[in-house]
Amino acid sequence: MRKLFGTDGVRGTANIHPMTAEMALRIGAAVGRYFRRDGTGVHRVVIGKDTRLSGYMFENALTAGLTSTGMNVLLLGPVPTPAVGLMTRSMRADLGVMISASHNPSEDNGIKFFGPDGFKLSDGAEMEIEALVEAGVEPAQAVNIGRAKRIDDARFRYGERVKSSLPRNLGLNGLKVVIDCANGAAHRTAPEVLWELGAEVIPVGVAPDGLNINRGCGSTHPQAAAEAVVAHGAHVGICLDGDADRVILIDETGTVADGDQLMALLASRWADEGLLTGGALVATVMSNLGLERFLEGKGLGLERTSVGDRYVVERMREGGFNLGGEQSGHIVMSDYATTGDGLMAGLHFLAAMVQTGRKASELAHQFETVPQRLRNVKFQAGQVPLEDARVQDAIAAAEKMLDGQGRLLIRKSGTEPLVRVMAESEDAEVMTLAVDSVVAAVEAAVAE
């Protein structure tokens, strides 16, 4: 069992275990030793971060740990997570590190790792690194300590890569676009890219102060962007999260569309153009049943995985698929990127608007969703509410209620101390009763 790593790296509240400077230094040394096992040659690592105040602390601690094992560190500064995957490959680095807690509040932070191929590390690699953290590693000799250097143009390199995923002759002239950057890593890059492509840009969430990332803005709080779309008469809104690997869309009426709708649009268009490899889309167990029915109607398949864009990417690579993602807005287009890229996915939606001449409201509503109900229950460290007999009985009873009428999904979040209880059913009354009964049992277990 992994103790440090969750579904997307190491994550937690800054200055509370495991997200302390001391632990970051140990993790840096461990991962440096893991990727420098032969002990010879020149080894390098790129480090990016979002705009959280604690990013300075973790950047320095990781740099100390990595250089202590002989790794040379290239510091990218604030860049989106997909930029780290890109730069790891393009700079021929052994390792990429992103310091971010994604959509979480500013007091949280996290550390994500990319291998030399630009893809996130496997479960097996993370377990080996955990073992090195626990055992400790021997530092390099004094003459072999690594160096650190700042790379000043990382966001420009990333911006060029994002733009190059669109047809060369396609511009966004005439489109008025609200872009909500969640006061996060893309607060400069995203507006610049849209402006360079010809769009009239209305920026939201572009004034980070270290403490306001994701606060009342971004993909988890799209209301501010929706209001801006309506107030400015914009054609569309694009909401990113703190590290810009997620996207949520807003049509011209202020209506929000999630990742499932965007994946449906892209899969349909790519299939029509002969660009969808494997004849299927890869999504997680959280994606709506309506998406599955939509794809079936198009003669396309849906491959489901565990929650986490890393698991989506693993299945895409195993099966040779080039499109996948999550309902939450991670959209992975492996022809262009190694991980979810919110800005790139948003640009492809804008491209569809330009090429079809259709409104955002038409393109962002590809299928009728099956009603879903999701509730979260917070628990404390050391608690295991899903093992409580009363919770297990409640789950069994809820599954019986939904048998033949929908589905129930219970899972522990991999990024936050939450139990997520979700059900889908055409029968709203049964769905509500099923979810609420399980939530009540979990809350009772947590309260003791």
In degrees, rounded to 5, the angle at the alpha carbon of residue 406 between the alpha carbons of residues 268 and 432 is 115
Residue position matching structure tokens 């349909």: 268
Among 343, 330, 310, 309, which Cα is nearest to 155's? 343
CA distance 73 to 24: 15
Burial zone of 196 (CB within 10 Å; 0-12 exposed, 13-18 middle, 19+ buried): middle
Q: Which helix (H) or strand (E) holds 210?
A: none
Q: Which amino acid is at 189?
A: T
**Greatest C-alpha distance within the chain:** 69
Strands 323-325 and 5-6: what pairing? unpaired
Residue 95, SS3 per DSSP: strand
Phi then psi for residue 407, to 5 deg, are -145, 155
Residue position matching structure tokens 């072999």: 144
CA distance 283 to 431: 22
| DSSP type of residue 306 | -
CA distance 162 to 185: 15
Q: Which amino acid is at 333?
A: M
Residue position matching structure tokens 């693993």: 314
| DSSP type of residue 106 | T
CA distance 217 to 98: 21
Among 308, 315, 321, 194, which Cα is nearest to 270's? 321
* 161 Cβ neighbours under 8 A, 6+ residues apart: 86, 336
CA distance 58 to 20: 8
Question: Do 367 and 294 meet the contact criterion of CB atoms below 8 Å apart?
Answer: yes
The single residue of 102, 268, 287, 328 carrying the catalytic annotation is: 102
102 labelled catalytic = yes
Tokens of 372: 């879903």
Q: Where in 193-316 does DSSP place strands (E)?
A: 200-204, 236-240, 247-250, 256-257, 280-284, 301-305
Catalytic residues: 102
